[in-house]
Chain A
Amino acid sequence: MKVLVPIKRVIDYNVKVRVKADNSNVDLANVKMAINPFCEIAVEEAVRLKEAGTATEVIAVSIGDKSCQEQLRTALALGADRAIQIDTDQNLDSINVAKLLQKVVEEEQPQLVILGKQAIDSDNNQTGQMLAALTGMPQGTFASAVSVDGDKVNVTREVDGGLQTIALNLPAIVTTDLRLNEPRYASLPNIMKAKRKPLDVKAAADFGIDLTSRTNLVKVTPPAERQAGIIVESIDELVEKLKNEAKVIS
């Protein structure tokens, strides 16, 4: 079966972001960018399904300007077979991302779409669920285990109280949690090979979808700074401070 993996180019997870002085957004000029960690897990899962003989083809797709081709090449180096870039320089709401992906799903007819559960920049946690709604597919979100079984896929999900396993009719949407797998590193030969793998570019405007933003980013501010604390010398001092100064224990 065919597996589609949408991926997102985001700020590297180790970078501490700065808010722009005019509070219009965060400053992404000259910061290190990378494939969203949850998307990397999605690619790894798809590649493992291929290695297990379950999947026949893995297609990576990303929406953004030319720079996201870098992340698509990374996905190809990790084992995806081909890539699609949906070219746009617009900043899209999840609903519009999901609508573009819906068109890709209609065209490619994958049996499984694996996405990350959230992007570490917008922290929305929406796209997979929205894509599932638009395509009418069932969804297995926050997956920590995935097993395809005939015309169904069993997904173990990380939920508040523990784990839950559900069975979904294929085709289905899965979104990855951190514990689904440990992504591999791309080897140099695979990075070289990835340069020759097909990467199609399609203009977002050609999909005939109204991509007008449904939200208006009014402002972005830095979070309230915490007051610098003190270093205590002993447990006795700590307990005394918590009791008498902070008054959080009695």
Chain B
Amino acid sequence: MSILVFAEHDNSQLKADTLKTIAAAQAIGGDIHLLVAGHNCQAVADAVSKVNGVSKVLVADNAAYEHQLAENISLLVTELAADYTHIIATALTTGKNFMPRVAALLDVAQISDIIAVESSDTFVRPIYAGNAIATVQSLDSKKVITVRPTGFDAVATDGSAEIVALDKVTDAGISSHVSEELSVSERPDLGAASVVISGGRGMQNGDNFKLLDGIADKLGAAIGASRAAVDAGFVPNDMQVGQTGKIVAPDLYIAVGISGAIQHLAGMKDSKVIVAINKDAEAPIFQVADYGLVADLFDALPELESKL
């Protein structure tokens, strides 16, 4: 078996979740190659060449891949796919965007968001917002898979793989990048943070999210939000934790003013320890919380900050 893993990066840095995706590839077993597609992305290629268990790094460095447009990346991956039994990407927005396109071009089904590997053709994935766990066998000759990073532990980075430059360029020419607006934050990445503190509708407005800052600073935590908080415009959407936002599984998840709707629980219920602070003792969040505090968050948060 030979496995092609797509490396998630922003042209300068490898996303840590790729290391977890490689762990999934190792669980399948076989020769693992990594694809770095981007522009001026040599630093990423150098970084991934040190990842354990990777035998070769393929680098496609061209302006056509700079923003990883699905139309261009999918053509590249489909072309490379001839040599592989498994094509794997991380279930982040880039992978979710281009991988189904690859699967369709190869005329195979895709298995999305796997959280465990049973064998080289059988995988485990959550369905119905994580309220059921499906074991699915792929009957296709090639397996196209996306990996939910919270399901796997990152592999180490003390290897040394061969780096091979690809010179063929696949540019569909039907889409182009216009602009982007990225959130700037000094805090750890939401998906990778070991502590996450999230606010919900109970925060009442965007300014009150500042109450979470001091606690997040003291705990080295990332700040998340429920859909209600995002929809109400308190915080940007990339902070959303849930079925349709980010899936997190930190050591400690603190839910503040979040009722605990099915869709939010889907994004955080695999956290090791869950703390809920809510003034409504009947809130569903208390059914999954290891430690619950029934209190007004406007009293509890400043006190928590002072006691840490």
Tell whether A pairs with B: yes
Q: Is B120 among interface residues, defined by CB-CB distance under 8 A?
A: no
A141-B96, A161-B182, A167-B177 known, 8 other contacts, Cβ within 8 Å: A123-B127, A144-B237, A160-B93, A160-B238, A215-B137, A229-B274, A234-B293, A238-B291
Q: Which chain A residues have a beta carbon within 8 Å of chain B's beta carbons?
A: 11, 13-14, 16-17, 19, 26, 93-95, 98, 117-118, 120-134, 136-139, 141-142, 144, 154, 157-169, 177-179, 213-223, 226-236, 238-239, 241-242, 246, 248-249
How many pairs, one residue from A and one from B, have CB atoms within 8 Å of each other in the complex? 260
Judge whether A220 and B132 touch: CB under 8 Å. yes
Question: Interface SS of chain B: helix, strand, loop or mixed?
Answer: mixed
Q: A216-B139, A249-B252 are in contact. Are A167 and B307 (CB under 8 A)?
A: no
Beta-carbon contact of A232 and B93 below 8 Å: no
Kindly state the interface size class of chain B when it binds its partner: 35 or more
Chain A residues whose CB sits within 8 angstroms of the CB of B38 once the complex forms: none
B179 neighbours in A (Cβ, 8 Å): 164-165
Query: Which of B53-61, B69-77, B80-88 forms contacts with chain A?
Result: B69-77
Nearest chain A CB to B160 CB, angstrom units: 29
B168 to chain A, nearest CB (A): 19
Contact with A along B98-133 (1 / 0, CB 8 A): 111111110111111100000000100111111111
B110 touches A124 (CB 8 A): yes
Residues of B within 8 A of A (CB): 10, 67, 69-71, 74, 92-94, 96-105, 107-113, 122, 125-140, 172, 174-183, 191, 195, 219, 227, 230-231, 236-238, 243-244, 246, 251-252, 262-263, 269, 272-275, 281, 286-295, 300, 303-304, 307-308
- CB-CB under 8 A from A166, the residues of chain B are 67, 69, 175-178
B288/A226 in contact, CB under 8 A: yes
Q: Are B93 and A159 in contact (CB under 8 A)?
A: yes
* Cβ 8 A contact of A95, one of B108, B137, B175, B191: B108
Chain A residues positioned under 8 Å from B140 (CB to CB):
214
Supposing A17-B131, A95-B104 touch, asked if A123 and B112 sit within 8 A by C-beta, the answer is yes
Listed by A's residue number, 11 A-B pairs whose Cβ atoms lie within 8 Å are A129-B99, A138-B71, A139-B97, A157-B93, A160-B92, A216-B137, A219-B135, A226-B274, A231-B291, A232-B291, A235-B300
